Structure 1
Amino acid sequence: MARAEHIIVAGGGIGGLAAALGLSSKGFRVTVLEQAPAFGEIGAGIQLGPNAFHAFDWLGVGEGARATAVYIDGLVLMDSLSDEEICRIPVDAPFRKRFGNPYAVCHRADLHKVLLDACAARPNVALLTDQRITDYTQDGDTVTVRTAAGGSHRGDILIGADGLRSAVRAQLVGDGEPRVSGHTTYRSVIPVERMPEELRWNAATLWAGPKCHIVHYPLSGWKLFNLVVTFHSDADEPVTGVPVDKDFVRKGFDHIADRPRAIIDLADDWRMWVLCDRDPDGNWVDGRVALLGDAAHPMLQYMAQGACMALEDAVCLSHMLDSHAEAGRALLAYHDMRVARTARVQLSSRLIGDHVYHAAGPVRLVRNQMLGGRDREQHYDSIAWLYGGTGLAP
């Protein structure tokens, strides 16, 4: 199996575009197949840890990514029953010095545009829309991808970056529908002037409560506030972006304090998602085909690492394909380097959601005592495994 020259990337989201950008920088010809009629990103706010900025810098878009970001002062955890602060992790100069990059928040669409524009400027990247993949075949030397419209594309390697319900994964792994978590999230964005002054904190704030939480932080140069509220609804079917009214949202938050509950009333345009993920899987590679991002390791939102892990994947994949003469070995090396780290984030996200953010009873009290008793360096030590290394290459 020879070195690849032409790589097909299924999916034009953050992970797919980052992969195209990284691979093109190594001299590969890349074709990105996006199933939608236009390239775009669904959702509003996104949190970016230092590991994301490590990836942006390597991809050559660090300056553009930083220009879209709001640099917050801290990560704040509040108790939504007592309306009291549990802990605050400063993400100021000492944090940046320790981890080599900032922690920031930005609008997903702004970040996606940075990556899209960078790909569009590369002569060895082709960006195609209306390309919904149905399946692929391999002949030992190439991969042929077929689309729902009856077209096909041939390349040396196929990277499935086509999300939670990846068509590439469906064929490669064959593990059916994602796991429905039973957690429902509602998202909205409001103008900054609608946020009460007493809550206009320059922080990513999370109000933890029994079987629920509320998140807010500033976006778009302090023009907007991102609002995300989540509770255990025991929903058993996935839902994506369905509009709901605020009375419907309120139902999961009657048991928390007045101040955090009133945040729900600030927005009129709420949309609902039922959160899904998958169990970690040790099979991302099939010959000349590999998975990336949510197609490989979909995770719940509780560590704010979904996009960050996809960015790390993209950089690692680029390194491995450039440094291995044989394509199949390169994909296996990429898989072996990434699988344990991403599995840890998947499992940690579930654990934090159930037993930290949504804790009740004595578990809530233990959480408050343990997290509230840490100093700055102890907080930093607890997240050093995630932010302390690049996770990008050996």
Structure 2
Amino acid sequence: MSALHDSRVLIAGGGIGGAAAALAMARKGASVTLFERAPEFGEVGAGLQIGPHGSRMLDSWGLLDPALERGVLPGNLVFRDAVTSEELTRLDLGRDFQARYGGPYFVIHRSDLHALLIEAARDAGAELLTSQTVDDVITEGNRAVLTTADGKAHEADVVLAMDGLKSRLRTKLSDDQPVSSGYVAYRGTFPIEDVPDGQGITDVVGYIGPRCHFIQYPLRGGSMLNQVAVFESTGFADGKEEWGGPDELAVAYDHCHPTVQSATDHLWKDRWWPMFDREPIENWVDGRMILLGDAAHPPLQYLASGAVMAIEDAKCIADYADEELAIGGADAWDRTLAAVNAERAPRCNRILTTGRMWGELWHLDGTARVARNELFQTRDTSSYKYTDWLWAYSSDRAGALAAAR
């Protein structure tokens, strides 16, 4: 029997990270209740890229095959210059890649992955509640008390605060605010036959250019094409309160290749996503509450690891708790939270800061763009030295637990 079978775990937030944490904890035998503010479960957005660091986590829960059935295995990651459309470099995602990293790189609609995790969490015994706004979490001795907007109090051994970029629970640890990148994203998924040249796209293709980039890849077995346009907002630079609207999109790609310009016709124009992250923080723990997922480390999207970091968090805390509670002691949960914080914060904060740098690299102009293109075109395409830190990651449980004790 798992060491967590007598544990009570509450989760604030029902996105991909919260659903993954509910699944991971319930599989270990914990009594889990998740609180989601929205009236029903669902994810707004379009495609997600899941690297092998995420595939391995899903595989450990028996969810990789059903995820692949709902997604697509692209052949390559391809970078092109957005101005000339010339190929700069590519990474083969085939057999050698998968053997090195122990899992595939795949793409999936955000709502499909979320639904898969929600279903699996329910099947594992987690209680998933909607229309529940979490107001506060307070530690009382060796218990955490979560209060909801309806005035009810819920006691548990631990609370996982996974309430996203605008987390209200993060304010218990930091007075920081989301940081605007000045860039805005437009997305769109359309039947692949409706997009000119869409049926020829079988890779993840990224056009990188001055002050913008454009991403394309297939979804849902190749029946849909996912597109993402990201550009620097002139409205934000001018200090406008409302910025990044369709009037800016209409001219943002005028300096790009006609292939990119024409592709922007196939985006949703009634919604857009200003891109924010937060400054890294080192401490995620307040008593018996720990920040995880975007509440702890919301990244910009350049390393395609936001969802995967939350999934890593979920598996890490479930595994660490299982080991620490098996050792026993009144402070087993406190040791668990300290160890997870010690293990995950350096990893996730590196992704945050590297993602910012990667965004700057993608959007270079002038001679800096020329130099970047030459570096990309001359890189050793058989080398993994720049990606091992991201995709080969595995938590060192023994080392982190020893350091936290």
TM range (shorter): over 0.9
Q: Which residue of 2 aligns with 1:339?
A: 345
- Shift in alpha-carbon separation, 1:158–1:120, aligned structure 2, 3 A: same
1:294-305 equivalence runs, <5 A: 294-305=294-305
Distance 1:393 1:58 in 2: 16
Q: Secondary structure at the match of 1:324?
A: helix
Q: Which residue of 1 aligns with 2:155?
A: 154
- Shift in alpha-carbon separation, 1:265–1:95, aligned structure 2, 3 A: same
TM-score normalized by the length of structure 1 = 0.93
1:1-394 equivalence runs, <5 A: 5-123=7-125, 125-171=126-172, 173-197=173-197, 200-233=200-233, 235=236, 245=246, 248-267=248-267, 269-325=269-325, 326-354=332-360, 356-378=361-383, 380-391=384-395, 393-394=397-398
- Shift in alpha-carbon separation, 1:312–1:393, aligned structure 2, 3 A: farther
- Shift in alpha-carbon separation, 1:15–1:70, aligned structure 2, 3 A: same
Q: Which runs of 5+ in 1 are unaligned?
A: none
Letter of the 1:259 partner, please give it: T
Distance 1:274 1:238 in 2: 12
Distance 2:338 2:129 in 1: 27
Whether contact under 8 Å (2:85, 2:259) holds in the other structure is yes
Letter of the 1:132 partner, please give it: T
- Shift in alpha-carbon separation, 1:372–1:393, aligned structure 2, 3 A: farther
- Shift in alpha-carbon separation, 1:74–1:153, aligned structure 2, 3 A: same
**How big is the shift at 1:68?**
1.6
Distance 1:364 1:215 in 2: 18
Distance 2:262 2:100 in 1: 37
Distance 1:382 1:137 in 2: 42
Letter of the 1:154 partner, please give it: E
Whether contact under 8 Å (1:188, 1:271) holds in the other structure is no
**How big is the shift at 1:266?**
2.9
Letter of the 1:122 partner, please give it: A
**How big is the shift at 1:367?**
1.1
Distance 2:269 2:75 in 1: 28
Q: Which moved more, 1:150-159 or 1:289-298?
A: 150-159
Q: Which residue of 1 aligns with 2:403?
A: none
Q: Which residue of 1 aligns with 2:402?
A: none
Whether contact under 8 Å (2:16, 2:307) holds in the other structure is yes
**How big is the shift at 1:269?**
4.3
The number of equivalent residue pairs is 386
Instruction: After superposition, give the CA deviation of every residue in 1:317-341 in whole Å (9 maximum; x if it has no partner).
Output: 1111111131011000011011111
Letter of the 1:330 partner, please give it: T
Whether contact under 8 Å (2:187, 2:268) holds in the other structure is no
Instruction: After superposition, give the CA deviation of every residue in 1:110-152 in whole Å (9 maximum; x if it has no partner).
Output: 10111011111123x1111111111122211211111122222
Distance 2:169 2:359 in 1: 29
**How big is the shift at 1:34?**
0.5
Distance 1:66 1:289 in 2: 34
Whether contact under 8 Å (2:186, 2:269) holds in the other structure is no
Letter of the 1:292 partner, please give it: L
Distance 1:377 1:239 in 2: 45
Q: Secondary structure at the match of 2:78?
A: strand
- Shift in alpha-carbon separation, 1:17–1:69, aligned structure 2, 3 A: same
Whether contact under 8 Å (2:186, 2:267) holds in the other structure is no
Letter of the 1:375 partner, please give it: D
Letter of the 2:340 partner, please give it: Y
Instruction: After superposition, give the CA deviation of every residue in 1:39-88 in whole Å (9 maximum; x if it has no partner).
Output: 11111100000000111012232222222220000001010111211111
Q: Secondary structure at the match of 1:131?
A: coil
**How big is the shift at 1:311?**
0.6
TM-score normalized by the length of structure 2 = 0.91
- Shift in alpha-carbon separation, 1:73–1:54, aligned structure 2, 3 A: same
**How big is the shift at 1:268?**
5.3
- Shift in alpha-carbon separation, 1:105–1:254, aligned structure 2, 3 A: same
**How big is the shift at 1:156?**
1.1
Distance 1:280 1:174 in 2: 11
Q: How big is the alpha-carbon RMSD for the aligned residues of Structure 1 and Structure 2?
A: 2.0
Q: Which moved more, 1:57-66 or 1:154-163?
A: 57-66
Letter of the 2:165 partner, please give it: L
Distance 1:239 1:185 in 2: 14
Distance 2:137 2:183 in 1: 34
**How big is the shift at 1:361?**
1.1
Letter of the 1:229 partner, please give it: A
Q: Secondary structure at the match of 1:266?
A: coil
Distance 2:343 2:291 in 1: 13
Q: Identity percentage over the alignment?
A: 37
Distance 2:241 2:395 in 1: 31
Instruction: After superposition, give the CA deviation of every residue in 1:229-267 in whole Å (9 maximum; x if it has no partner).
Output: 011115268989x9x65x542221111121111111134
Letter of the 2:57 partner, please give it: A
**How big is the shift at 1:347?**
0.4
Instruction: After superposition, give the CA deviation of every residue in 1:178-206 in whole Å (9 maximum; x if it has no partner).
Output: 11111111111111012222773211111
